[in-house]
């Protein structure tokens, strides 16, 4: 499956990052770079991560998500989590750390 990370700057300090494909330690770099750039931008206060097209994600992606939280940026995950990542969230109680909505539009309304 092709991996794709698209970054959509929006007004009012919002950055939407859309991810498609599989994300693990070997394929995470585009995602890592997109998150690092968003977190380093002083105009970005809120990051929406669209996860609706992620086929697989493992603990390395969870680690990156936690790094984004530590930057002080608000992070919202939009869309149903991929099965493996949802299971990992359950095992680690990470659901408590993140705001999760069912779609990007709902995340924008928070």
Cα 2 to the center of its chain, rounded Å: 18
Model confidence, pTM: 0.90
pLDDT per residue of the chain (110 residues) written in tens, 0 to 9: 667 999 998 888 999 999 999 999 999 999 999 999 999 999 999 999 999 999 888 899 999 999 999 999 999 999 988 888 888 899 999 999 999 999 998 998 88
DSSP state of 98: S
pLDDT of residue 70: 94
- Domain with residue 79: its CATH number is 3.30.750.24
Range of the domain at 53: 4-108
| Closest-CA residue to 47 (of 1, 98, 102) | 98
Q: How many domains are there within the chain?
A: 1
pLDDT at 1: 61
Closest CA to 85 of 108, 106, 65: 65
């Amino acid at each position: 499956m092709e991996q794709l990370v698209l970054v959509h700057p929006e007004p009012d300090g919002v950055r939407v990052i859309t991810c498609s494909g599989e994300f693990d330690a070997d394929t995470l770099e585009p995602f890592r770079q997109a998150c690092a750039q968003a977190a380093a931008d002083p105009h970005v206060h809120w990051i929406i991560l669209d996860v609706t097209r992620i086929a697989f994600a493992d603990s390395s992606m969870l680690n990156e998500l936690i790094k984004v939280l530590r930057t002080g940026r608000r992070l919202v995950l939009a869309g149903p989590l991929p099965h493996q990542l949802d299971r990992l969230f359950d095992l680690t109680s990470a659901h408590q750390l993140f705001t999760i909505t069912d779609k990007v539009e709902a995340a924008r309304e928070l």
